[in-house]
Structure 1
């Protein structure tokens, strides 16, 4: 298996997408889902600004300009807003192609207004960046690129399709063609820069939101399992007394029935089944994952043992060790049984087992004020490309389109998030040569792991 993919090989991701296949769509699916009201509001702001600028130039500065044409171009945006306001609910989420068409209209409308007032000579040419930037923030890469190409194409046509700058007819200076093409070059650079930078920021944000959603699903699952364990413990306690009474009474009835009584067999069956139920409840009561008041507090080494237990017997030796730090007590500290820590440690150990050649070690150490859990393996280690990025979501070199599997680059991020929610921090590195393998270390202040009510 590719070394660069080791961080994405955490098996619990399958459960994430099984639990919430619709709630965790791709990062791209989150783009283009902007409310219609947002586009309408931005367009009204543009209409107000354009109208004020045109009236100021015409009446305030006294320039001779095609006022009727300019107002007609502005009115087109206003009428579009009126139509959208009446045709659709303002809270409606736009589809990707709808948002692209609206931004495409805004780009054409703004280009027409600039072309009517000087084209590339107009200093307001840089406003063409506005719809391009909005497209980069809200649309997919392809659709945002189409808006950017449209803006540049319309700007390139302005030297032949634009009216002269209004100040030319008022005795102003005629700007040379070289300046106009310089304006176009500045616009082109701005379009490319803003498109790429805004798109990168938007996609990173969408990926982070999706990764946090995945972590929330994992946490909800762990809390649900923990609650079921507590409920099972309570159920076994409550049912134990009535079942013992039934078993006792049934045995007494069997002894008191005269020989040959036709009900003897039925009463004996009741006693047998009551005994069977008591055995089932006893097994549930003794299960380690029944989170009652006893299991809510457990030694540090027992917590690591529980996290590692599912990985034992899979062909790789999983060794759990408890090593006191300098000046610490020999006995491991008693800490709270945390579903977050169990899940995260289990994920790290599973990942180590997947890449180990023959051995994985989970070492718990402690001092008077700190707890450290270190997981090492003897596999190939982290690749040099992945190691600096560990802890970020979606750093796998696998395709993000594979939503149904676990190769989504979310594993390390989710486990790291769970550790940090408990007050810890994560460090990762490769083992020092000549030894090979990866090292993942979780560190907590001891006070963050103590159960409530424990001094």
Structure 2
């Protein structure tokens, strides 16, 4: 059953993307209006001076100036901070329809072949507006058409050898070519904007589902850590009692085993404490001010002492050094990558830390079999693993999501012998502990 949290898209992000899409669509309307202005000026000049058909130039010129002013206002809205809404797009199309109606009123009414341009505006409305707004636009265009049938200023066509019907058909052809070209041009761009919006929303849903998955795993890990605390403490007390028993003291081998078990118990308790700290149950206990170089050197030393002995080449080339706040989540991210490399290549792996501008870059290389193509294509997806064991693939999934929260990223590639994983983190995420509490 799908989680309701995973299916929910953050409202702020969705609203932001909707505003971005509306701004792109408003820009398309502005560009279309500039073409309309140019087309009207050209048509008026050809009709007046080429065909010799007298037109009321003053009122028709005022409509053109109105469209220019409307475009100027639309540009102010486009570059303003206020969000662009569906209602604003609807009002913009209504103004365009009103301007077209006035021009048709002064040039023959419904008999004007350019009356078909109403369909262009309705098509744009169907792509940009809600269903209700589109039907309102259809009703408005229909009323304007009916109005122009009965109320209009007739034009006088001089006799210059051209048949009136032939002249009308020419106008219809020009209108058809103009409308068809504009529909194809702008509908393809509008559809591209809509596809970008849908892709963005799909990505948000995917991230929401992944974060819900992380929350559930975090709750499970926190609960398990609480439950493990008591038996670990009990075992530690028992081992401490055994160390003081005479039989154990006299048997060096057994004393060594008890000491090793106590060391492993302490390691388990340290891991449990880290889980609780990361989940927020021990907030403040792990906040340690240090530097990036010291943090990385200490981290690598701890990893080497707790894993099997391995001559791992480690280069700390992070210069110049920078202050940071020690973070358990970052340590676990690096541990996860190192553990995966060690599992793939038990005999050799290397790591390099460097500073590139304002970012910390850590590169881990191994001499294992490398990544499958499917894993590289879906890097960080849960349960994507070539190890074929239940629960595998969660390590990189958590790494990718933690890095994403911190503003970082991860990349993986295969080498001629082995694989390479590169972690990149902004230094700003390391120096402000409040930004990346986990």
TM-score interval for Structure 1 and Structure 2 normalised by the shorter chain = 0.3 to 0.5
Q: Which has the higher helix share?
A: 2
Report 1 or 2 for greater relative contact order, CA contacts < 8 Å, sequence distance ≥ 6.
1
Q: TM-score by structure 1 length? A: 0.43
Q: TM-score by structure 2 length? A: 0.44
